Structure 1
């Protein structure tokens, strides 16, 4: 069961962080150079509509599998090494950023696109872009901490 929990955890980390990297590093620049404002904003709403259910699944499964490993195999938070505490704290920060994106600028972006208020839509997309950039950067740090900690880097034990 331990290997299953870790495997599911890793798959959903890759899905969430990889999806953010793809959107921020590849789709965003391509959309900015190839599409006019209204088409670009519509593309982003459609992209988020498809991606965000996977992020919700990631949030739920990362919490379930992460705490499943901590409490089922590590003896709880008190016995968990430093790298697990760092991953937990940064993961909770990532979830908080996502919740903010989903419930604030994404909803405003959707409403602006539906109302064809392109300037407001662009403003909300810019807010999302900055938060996604921060979130995928934190995600990369978490991945580095996870690998280094699991490989026994003394400072993270």
Structure 2
């Protein structure tokens, strides 16, 4: 009886942390750091802030997938869910892959550049992260739109 609402709550909280966190990083933290700090201070701050955020995102990603798949199971499986759920799964997979690129490719480059105090390389790594996170934020907003509008499409 309470299974679906609890799974939905976990799903929404985790997705909000992930998507909202990307928005905060892109629109608040990064611009403030650029406006107030030189590269030798800004890049270590951003590397540490992103490291902490990505640690939380890995938990959010796991929670989103576990709760989402759990909701599908409670609803009766993939064969009975509406088509918009399949679209949300595809978008979520793309988001997860982009998260993997940030966490396992771009972030190690940023950390290595900061450790070497190679500010141009650090700036390039941070620009790559910003691009990937921007795309991922767009996908996250699309998932929210599909989730809200999908039931109105009612197409199986």
Kindly state the Cα deviation for residue 144 of structure 1 after the two structures are TM-superposed.
1.0
**Equivalent residue, structure 2, for 1:75:** 76
- 5+ residue gaps, structure 2: none
Q: Distance in 2 between matches of 1:132 and 1:118?
A: 20
What is aligned with 1:20?
22
Q: How does 1:106-117 map to 2 (within 5 A)?
A: 106-117=107-118
Matches of 2:153 and 2:129, distance apart in 1: 37
Deviation at 1:50, TM superposition (A): 1.2
Corresponding residue of 2:92: 91
Which of the numbers 38, 41, 50 marks the counterpart of 1:39?
A: 41
Give the CA deviation at 1:154: 2.0
The Cα of 1:156 is off from its aligned counterpart by: 5.4
Structure 1 spans left out of the alignment, 5+ residues: none
SS in 1 for 2:30: helix
2: distance between equivalents of 1:142 and 1:155?
16
RMSD: 1.1
Q: Contact 1:109–1:125 (CA<8 Å) still a contact in 2?
A: yes
State TM-score, norm by structure 1: 0.94
Give the length in aligned residue pairs.
154
State the shift of 1:15 in Å.
0.3
Matched, 1:57 2:59: yes
Question: TM-score w.r.t. structure 2 length?
Answer: 0.95
Aligned-residue offset at 1:69: 0.6
What is the distance in 2 between the residues matched to 1:107 and 1:97? 15
Compute the displacement of 1:21 (Å).
0.2
Residue in structure 2 matched with residue 127 of structure 1 by the alignment: 128
**CA distance in 2 between partners of 1:86 and 1:40 (Å):** 38
Q: Which residue pairs with 1:147 in the alignment?
A: 148
Q: 2:88 touches 2:146 (CA, 8 Å); kept in 1?
A: yes
